Amino acid sequence: MQLLRWFGILLAVLVLGLVAIAIVVRFLDGPLRTLPLALFPGGPLRAGELHTGPEPDWSFARDIQEMELQLLEPPRSRITWLIVHERKLYVASGYMKSWWGRLWKRWPHDAMKDGRAVIRIDGKRYEREVVRVTDPALFWTVVEESRRKYGSEEDPTLPDPLPPLEEAGVWLFEMAPREGAGAGSPPGS
């Protein structure tokens, strides 16, 4: 009985500690990068120069492994992988058909409601519009590029014929330019 009580106390301290961490990181400038803390969404991206020029050629980010992505509503940030295809920037969200993904991956659903976002790559911020890719040919081409970049336990060659997007378990988003962004307007306007 004493052992069970100590186990209960230890479990309560662990849960309270995780809740405290989850609350604290929401006030930070972006997500933490160390595991397991990187699993918790961070706060709004505030630091770094805001890009105000013409639309970037995202080819410079082809070999960059991660970026920070913050939706404006809700204003939480996370670390994501990025894919560059034909000078455009994409982000994929996997596990969308699994119970774990439905529980853990809320940002894609939030992005479908309000796609305004800020991303930060190498310390520089860019205002973006998160737009879900629905074109099957583009979707599978970018997924194949992601498999080459990050590796995959699956065969990196795509099946023929390609399965419907609904069966993929992955949502793919273009980080498109946000109308009126970058002209001196603060993020969130």
Task: List pLDDT tens digits, range 59-85.
Answer: 999 999 999 999 999 999 999 999 999
In contact, 62 and 97? CB cutoff 8 Å: no
Would you say residue 187 lies in a domain? Answer: no
Q: Is residue 189 part of a domain?
A: no
Residue 97 structural domain = 44-177
Residue 107 banded pLDDT, cuts 50, 70, 90: very high
What is the domain count for the chain? 2
Confidence at residue 182, expressed as pLDDT on a 0 to 100 scale: 58
pLDDT of residue 36: 72
- Is 185 within the bounds of a domain? no
- Judge if 12 and 24 occupy the same domain: yes
The mean of the pLDDT values for the chain is: 86
3-state secondary structure of 78: strand
SS3 assignment, position 185: coil
Q: Is residue 186 part of a domain?
A: no
Beta bridge partners of 128: 117, 177
Residues 59 and 21 in one domain: no
| Whether residue 138 has pLDDT greater than 90 | yes
Partners of 126 in the beta sheet? Answer: 119
What mean pLDDT comes out for the span 13-36?
A: 78
Same domain, 100 and 56: yes
Note whether 33 and 110 are same-domain residues.
no
Q: Which pLDDT score is estimated for 65? A: 95
Q: Which of 20, 122, 38, 113 is CA-nearest to residue 77?
A: 38
Reply yes or no on whether the pLDDT at 110 is more than 90. yes
d(CA 94, CA 105): 8
The pLDDT assigned to 189 comes to 42
- Of 154 and 143, which is predicted with more confidence? 143
pLDDT attached to residue 83: 97
Q: Which amino acid is at 40?
A: F
**Are the beta carbons of 120 and 67 closer than 8 angstroms?**
yes
Phi, psi dihedrals of residue 34, rounded to the nearest 5°: -95, 135
> Would 7 be classed as within a structural domain?
yes
Q: Is 85 within a domain?
A: yes
Same domain, 75 and 12: no
Residue 132 has pLDDT above 50, yes or no: yes
Residue 59: inside a domain? yes
Q: Which residue has the higher pLDDT, 90 or 136?
A: 90
35 and 82 inside one domain: no
